[in-house]
Homo-oligomer: A and B are copies of this chain.
Amino acid sequence: MGHRLGPREVRQRIREGQWTTPTAGLASGFVQANLVIVPEEYAYDFLLFTQRNPKSCPLLDVTEAGQVEPAVAPGADLRTDVPRYRVYRQGELAEELTDITPLWRDDLVSFLLGCSFTFEQALLRAGVPVRHLEEKCNVPMYVTNIPCRSAGVFSGTMVVSMRPIPASLVSRAVQVTARYPGAHGAPVQVGDPGGIGIADLARPDFGDPVPVRAGEIPVFWACGVTPQVAVMRARLPLVITHAPGYMFITDIRDTELELK
């Protein structure tokens, strides 16, 4: 189910506990988003962090403090419409929940950030294979030595996702993803993992390893896990995020994020 349902129907099923697995492929054609919820006290710093690191943190929407219905998904409830949440206290993962209503407070501000699912569909349409989709696993992600620009309490280095691309399609992969600045945009690096501090492609920091075959070039895109790491490093009393792969589904169409 879910591939042919619209975003409103999928959110409804998630809210009712009928969908409890990752959201890849759900509500095809609609933008899925990373979710970061911080207390209002830290919202300015986090907003500034997204402004200063737009490749990692392509901002789609910010709610008013306490609000649970984002502008990009009328009728949604950010407390219930993600299949799995992560709750961090003092920077440590405290628990995973399917409903954060019991934790809700009037001072919580929710940030929705674009996600690579959008450009992966565009890559497939353009004939560029996406290895981790072929392998039915999570994309491999790596902490790099590329510094983020700090903002208040938030700092860190960029996390990147890696997709092995045939050498003859790298150019096309760059051009296709460049059209989606709202979903991390063009790659940040091509072909030299050591140059950004990645010692071993077979040992990602997050997600699953995928094979890089002869004639393929490892291509690196900025990743939405970057702000999660920055938020953990800040050791805030409370931060809530989606669990990796369990995204929030918006009413924005993928095509609306495309530069024309």
Contacts and interface: CB of A to CB of B under 8 A. Distances in A.
How many identical subunits does the complex contain?
2
A227 B187 CA distance: 32
A171 B174 contact: yes
Interface in A205-256: 215, 217
Interface stretch (A41-49, A80-88, A95-103, A188-196): A188-196
The A interface is mostly helix, strand or loop, or mixed, namely helix
A170 interface: yes
Count class of interface residues, chain A: 20 to 34
A187 B171 contact: yes
A20 interface: no
A248 to B, nearest CB: 28
Complex A-B, nearest 8 residue pairs according to Cβ-Cβ distance, in ascending order: A167-B192, A170-B190, A174-B174, A191-B217, A171-B187, A171-B186, A195-B215, A191-B191
Given A190-B217, A191-B217, A195-B215, 4 more contacts: A168-B188, A168-B196, A171-B186, A194-B215
